[in-house]
Amino acid sequence: MGQKRIGIDLDGTVADYMAGAIPLLKEHYGLEPDWSRNAYRIEEVFGLTEETRPPNFREHLYQELHLFRNLPKREPDIELHTHLLKGRGYKVYFITARTGHPIIRADTKDWLDEHNFEYDDIFHVEDKAELCRLMRIHVMLEDEVMQIGNLQRSNINIVVPDQPWNQHLPEDPHELERKRGRIRRVYNWREADRAIEELLGK
């Protein structure tokens, strides 16, 4: 079977994007979040449209305020999960839809290294399913609904960190859809670790 390859998303999976972005948007733009929205995109959290969205606010957040260098972790000791995976001899790849802008790439790597994550490489891609197919990823940790659907249709198994925006996703515990990737919902990294081992058939 060869060496097992694990893909891990960043925002909403190991990094708490919302917890980092919302205070900056409040401070720099005077915006207030609408907590009734179980939204994935930051624009939806603040009820922004094309007309009301501040110009270039993502570039300001990412490249000038260095959001990705300063995000909190989703769990205090979540980096230990990568230590366990590497200790079992698995390949660990961080796969993010963040753009490949040099500042974003540098801040992403600095954040992972500062927090002592262990990994083999980082990839910045929009189509994670295509990359996972090409790299023969065995299990992907992903929270975003569109990416999860693409991964599942590509027959890639997915561990889904529980988030408000992915509550409607069904699981397939009895593996009725055998030609699709299986989904396992988890609530912390220890559950994610057990789910990975289950999906790998350990």
Give 18-47 pLDDT, tens digit per residue.
999 999 999 999 988 887 777 888 888 888
Q: State whether residue 107 is helix, strand or coil.
A: helix
Fold observed for domain 5-16+71-199: Rossmann fold (3.40.50)
Ranking 45-59, 105-119, 151-165, 170-184 by mean pLDDT, the lowest is 170-184
Question: What does the DSSP assignment read for 8-27?
Answer: E--BTTTB-HHHHHHHHHHH
CA–CA separation, 68 and 109 (whole Å) = 9
How many Å is the Cα radius of gyration of the chain?
17
CA–CA separation, 140 and 130 (whole Å) = 12
| Domain spans of the chain, in order of start | 5-16+71-199, 17-69
Predicted model pTM: 0.93
Nearest to 7 by CA among 162, 135, 163: 135
Question: What would the pLDDT profile of 155-198 be if each residue is shown by its tens digit?
Answer: 999 999 999 999 888 765 445 455 578 899 999 999 999 999 99
